[in-house]
Every structure is written in structure tokens, then in C-alpha cells.
A and B are shown apart, each in its own frame.
Chain A
Amino acid sequence: MTDLQANTELLTKLNGLAAGLFLLTAFGMIAMRQVLACLKLFVWQSILLAASATILGFQHSSVHLFVVAVITVGTKSILIPWLLVRLVSQEAYARREISQVLNIPTSLLLGMALVILAYFASSPLLGGSQDPFVRMNLPVGTAGVLLGAYAVVVRREAVPQVIGLLAMENGSFLAGICIAPDLPIIAELAAAFDVLIIALVMGLLTRRIRERTGMTVVGKLASLKED
């Protein structure tokens, strides 16, 4: 009994570690200037997501979650970065973003406020639940979604915007593996496939934009207005 309890304790702490580092990578996506660094952060974030899924798999003794972890690593850590690098030219990754909509320290502070917001938004949902994994993953997942959204809004380059979008999906998956661990495998597979299509579509579109306008700073495309 105590062995099981100790096991759960260790798993809880490890899961907490994965979730904490997940949050850190989400912040990194707002703060990193280099486009390639953003992509690497995304790879790490997906690996942390898979780690959390594996830990939950041990906890609930469910093969299902292990499969989810494997799918996550396969698509998000390997396939999607490869796809993004192949589709968008190398040159887009060699650069760094000169300016964002707000400067980075302000963005970091706003990001902090978003994390607090995520915790408050999840607290009525956590009211009854005593499951420590849910208590850790749900707020961090929601925070990941909000931070990803913020990254999309604040960055002007195309590839970091795509990565921000994918980070939002990562965040919702992190929340999902703890609150919906037995979602039918078909849904999980389809969702993973869907993320792949997002990367594919946006990669192709970025290439098209680059071919047509010679740059990938989509923040500068602002000609469609009322005046």
C-alpha cells in the first residue's frame, strides 16, 4: 500500500516537473528571438507532453496513454519540425525577429498574467477533484493554450505564428490527457492527423507567401483595410 502510495508520489512529482518545464517552454516561445530556437522549443514542449502522457500511463496503467505518447513524439517532435523545415526555405529559419508588437519584457509580464488567469479559470473546475495530476495538468494546459495564443498575436514572423498555434494544440492536449484519458483512440489519432495537416497547410502557405512577397514577415501584410 505504501509502496503504491510512494510510487504515486514520485509520479506526481515527476509529472509536476514535466508540467513546470512545459510552462517554461511556452514562455520561451514568446521570448525567443531566433526562429530556429522557437522550433526547438516546440520540439521540447512536445517531448514534455509525451513524458507527461507516459507518466499518466504508468499511473492509470493504461496502454492507451502510452500510445498517445508515442504518437505525440512521432508527429510533433519528429514529423512536424521536419515538415516545417522542408516546406519553408532555410532562409526563414536563419533569421531572428527584429521586433514584436510589444517588447519582450512586457510580453513576459503579460504572459505571467495569462498564467494567473488560467489558474483562476481552472479553479472552479478543480473544485471537487483531488487527483493531483489533474490539478497540475489542467491549469498548465490552459496556460499553454493562452500563452500560445499570445505568441501568435504578438509575433510578426510566419513560422513563430505557426509554432504558437501548434503550441496551443499542445496545451489543450496536456489538459486533455489528464481530464479525458480514455477518449477513444480514433479521436486521438484523428486529432494528431489534424495537427499534421495544420503544419502542412501553413507550411505550404508560408512558402507561397514567401514566393509571392519575398518575405515571411506576415505582420507586415496589412493592405486589406476599410480605408
Chain B
Amino acid sequence: MGSKGLRMGGVDVTEKILFNVVQVLVVMLVSPLVKGVLNRLKEAVQSKRGPSIFQPYRDIWKLFHKDEVISDSATWIFRLTPYVVFITPAFVALLIPVLTGYPLFFAFMGDMLGGGFILALGGFFATLAAVDAANPYGAMGASRTRMVGFLAEPVFMIVFFTVSFVAGSTIPYIVHKHWVNPPDNFFEPSHVLLMLAFLMLIIAETGRLPVDNPSGHFELAMIDESKGLEYSGRGAALMKWGASMKFLVLVCIYLNVVVTPWGLAQGESLGELLLAIPLVFLKVFVFVVVLVVIESSLAKLRLFRITEFLGGAFITSVAAMITRLLEG
């Protein structure tokens, strides 16, 4: 197919672009399913029946068909934010290994730091919008989100530095190979500590327990949920979808870059790519189970204790860096 097209590195360019697009589509389409599975599992652990795993799809569909109500005092930021929050994870999905183990067309457009900044852009706009709507709970939640965000920044940085130092590059596709060749490398102390630190980071960034309760309805205690409070109709749908995409993107970075690249397509045919989808989904499912266990066994931290939590993550990541730097 397309044998007359440009060839780059032995693989058809059009194929690479196609794979990239497929990757983004997969992230977009599968992320609500992941959210649905997570919610269902959490409820099941509590001996409840829980909503269907396809419920988030239905919610998004329903919201798209509702009217939007926007406050008078809201500016263009408020209107723009849902789109930003939706698009930024999609952009990052272009850069990271989701389905393939080899770099795709857009892979060198930005590295991990770039991906981090793009995700932060989405968060930045969400915080601004929360303040923009003049909802008092929005402002409170926004300031708390910022606090968690700035405490999580050093951890991000150190984790990325260590990972890049180990692999000699900052492109995610090149980095992930290092941890599995040879297989002993998986047990390297810096690797294990990094996995731990990044896990704590994901919990903080996506607003899961013990940092924040995603199913809480009490606005005074909300941190991450508060950004979607004021939205309705299409805006709400895009915010929800964007949040679940961000979750899936972070999980993919975690699983495919830091933990293990197993299950990713190594070959270049479309069939292999499509085969990788259920394999990657399986990995994500295992992660979701682990997350459900963590969430169900810990209580929400009081606000000032979040500093200690993220301080612990920071120390773990610095310990990973030091054990790597000083022993290797």
C-alpha cells in the first residue's frame, strides 16, 4: 500500500502518519472506557453493583446534546478552556508510545519535557477558567490544584532527568527500551524507586485518592473536580472527556515508558498495530486494578499532608537519581 510514496527509514511515511492518527484515535475512544472500568471496579470492591463500564460514553453523549449555560461574567478563557483541555492530551498522545515500540511520525516533535509542558498548559487553562466563572468554589479548588501542581513539578523534573540520564535521550520511544534490555535492569534500584515516585505523581496529578476524592460531591473539599464545576452541555462533555484522556495519557506514559514496553507493536503492519490495542488495554487494566486497591485502602489526606505526600515522592525520585548517579 502506498509503495510509490516517500520512504523514510524503510517504512512508508504515510503509514507512519496513519499509525500516529490511529494512536490518537485509540486514546480518544478508549479513555472513557478506562474511566468506566475504574469506576465499576471501585464500586465492586465496595460490594456495590456500580454503573456499566460504558456509562462515561453515555454521559458524554448526553452532555453533547444539552444546552450550555454560561455565566455573564465569563470571558473567552471560559469558552476556550474545554477545547484546550480536550486537545492537549491528544497532542501528547502524538508524542508518546501508546501502541508502537518504535518512533512514529510526530515522535520527535517534542520530548517528555515538551509533553509535560503541554499537559500543564491544559491544567493552566482549567485553573484560569475556574477562577473566571466567579464561582467561589472554583477559585478555592483552583488554588489547591495549583498547590498540588507546583509541589508535583520537582518530582516530574527529577523523574524525567533520571529517566533521560539512564537512557541517554529524552524521547520517550528511545527511553523505554533501556529498562528491558537486559531483563535484569527491571530490578535496578533506581528503576523501582522511579516507578514508585511516578505512581505517586499520577495519583496527585489526576486527582485520585489519597490526594483527592474523585467521586466526592462536597465542593469545599474538591481539588481536581472543581475545574469542571461550572460547565454544562458541550463544555462539560469536553472537560470530562479531556480529563479521562489526560488520565489515559499519563497512564500510557507510565506503563510504556517507565514500567515496561511489553505488549507494544514491534512490527510495521496495521494488523500488528491493531493487535497491540487489546494488549495495551490489558496492561492498563492491570494498572487500574492496582489503582483501585490503593484507592480503596487509603483515606483522603488532609490538605497540609499533601505536602508530605509529594515530599515523599520527591525524596523517592531523588533517591532514584542518586542511586543511579553514584553507583553506576
A residues near B (Cβ < 8 Å) are: 9-10, 13-14, 16-17, 19-21, 23-24, 27, 31, 104-105, 108-109, 111-112, 115-116, 119, 135-136, 139
Q: Considering the complex, give the chain A residue whose CB is closest to the CB of B319.
A: A23
Cα distance A13–B188 when bound, in Å?
5
Q: Give Cα A105 to B305, complex, Å.
A: 10
B311 within 8 A of A: yes
Count how many pairs of residues, one from A and one from B, have CB atoms less than 8 Å apart in the complex.
Answer: 68
CB <8 Å contact, A17 and B189? yes
Assuming A23-B319, A105-B307, A116-B322, is B187 touching A136 (CB within 8 A)? Answer: no
For residue B193, which residue of chain A has the nearest CB? A20
Knowing A20-B192, A139-B326 are in contact, say whether A14-B315 is a contact too (CB < 8 A): no
Interface residues of B (CB under 8 A from A): 182, 184-185, 187-190, 192-193, 196, 307-308, 311-312, 314-316, 318-320, 322-323, 326-327
Q: How far is the CA of A2 from the CA of B153 in the complex (A)?
A: 43
With contacts A13-B187, A16-B187, A119-B326 taken as known, whether A24 is within 8 angstroms of B311 at the C-beta atoms is no
CA distance A23 to B316 in the complex (A): 9
User: Which residues of chain B are within 8 angstroms of A14 by Cβ–Cβ distance?
Assistant: 187
29 interchain pairs, CB-CB under 8 A:
A9-B182, A13-B188, A14-B187, A16-B327, A17-B187, A17-B189, A20-B189, A20-B192, A20-B193, A20-B323, A21-B192, A23-B323, A24-B193, A27-B312, A27-B316, A27-B319, A31-B308, A31-B311, A105-B307, A108-B311, A108-B314, A109-B315, A112-B318, A112-B319, A115-B319, A115-B322, A119-B322, A136-B327, A139-B326
Interface SS, B side: helix
- Max chain B C-beta neighbours (<10 A), residue from A24, A112, A116: A24
Q: In the complex, A125 Cα to B107 Cα: how many Å? A: 45
Complex interface: chain B residues within 8 A of A135 (CB):
327
Q: Which residues of B contact A116 (CB under 8 A)?
A: 322
Contacts of B326 in A (CB 8 A): 119, 139
Distance of A135 Cα from B327 Cα, bound (Å): 7
A171 to chain B, nearest CB (A): 15
Q: When A and B form their complex, which 7 residue pairs have the shortest distance between CB atoms, in order from nearest?
A: A20-B189, A105-B311, A16-B189, A13-B184, A13-B187, A17-B187, A108-B315
Provide the residues of chain B in CB contact with A31, threshold 8 Å. 308, 311-312
A217 to B317 Cα, complex, angstroms: 32
Q: Which residues of A contact B188 (CB under 8 A)?
A: 13, 16-17
Tell me the smallest distance from the CB of A58 to a CB of chain B, in Å.
Answer: 15
Q: A14-B187, A136-B327 are in contact. Are A20 and B319 (CB under 8 A)?
A: yes
Docked pose: A111 CA to B319 CA in angstroms: 10
Q: Kindly report which residue of chain B lies nearest to residue A22, judged by CB atoms.
A: B189
Residues of A within 8 A of B315 (CB): 27, 108-109, 111-112
Q: A13-B188, A17-B188, A20-B193 are in contact. Are A104 and B323 (CB under 8 A)?
A: no
Residues in A neighbouring B311, C-beta threshold 8 A: 31, 104-105, 108-109
Give chain A nearest CB distance to B148 CB in angstroms.
Answer: 14
Partner pick for A24 among B182, B187, B319, CB 8 A cutoff: B319
Minimum C-beta distance from B171 to chain A (A): 25
- Chain A residue nearest in CB terms to B307: A105
A-B contact sample (7 more), CB < 8 A, given A27-B312, A104-B308, A112-B318: A16-B188, A17-B188, A20-B320, A27-B315, A27-B319, A31-B311, A108-B315
Of all chain A residues, which has the CB nearest B308?
A104
Q: How far is the CA of A29 from the CA of B308 in the complex (A)?
A: 13
Query: Are A10 and B322 in contact, CB atoms less than 8 angstroms apart?
Result: no
Give bound CA distance, A105 to B314, whole Å.
Answer: 10
Contacting pair B189 A19 (CB below 8 A): yes
Chain A nearest Cβ from B6, distance in angstroms: 43
Closest Cβ–Cβ distance, residue B306 to chain A (whole Å)? 11
- Roughly how many angstroms separate A20 CA and B321 CA in the complex, as a whole number? 11
Minimum C-beta distance from A11 to chain B (A)? 9
CA distance A124 to B189 in the complex (A): 23
Bound complex: CA A9 to CA B188 (Å): 11
CA distance A81 to B190 in the complex (A): 30
Instruction: Determine whether the beta carbon of A105 is less than 8 Å from that of B319.
Output: no
Closest B residue to A26 by CB, please name it.
B319
- Contact in complex: A108, B327 (CB < 8 Å): no
B320 cross-chain contacts in A, Cβ below 8 A = 20
Query: Once the chains are docked, how many angstroms separate the CA of A111 from the CA of B323?
Result: 14
Contacts of A13 in B (CB 8 A): 184-185, 187-188
Q: How far is the CA of A17 from the CA of B196 in the complex (A)?
A: 13
Shortest distance between the CB of B302 and any CB in chain A (Å): 11
A13, B327: Cα distance in complex, Å: 12
Expressed in whole angstroms, the Cα–Cα distance for A17 and B184 within the complex equals: 11
Chain A residue nearest in CB terms to B320:
A20
CA distance A31 to B313 in the complex (A): 12
B312 cross-chain contacts in A, Cβ below 8 A: 27, 31, 108
Expressed in whole angstroms, the minimum distance between the Cβ of B198 and any Cβ of chain A is 14
Contacts of B323 in A (CB 8 A): 16, 19-20, 23
Q: How far is the CB of B211 from chain A (nearest CB, A)?
A: 15
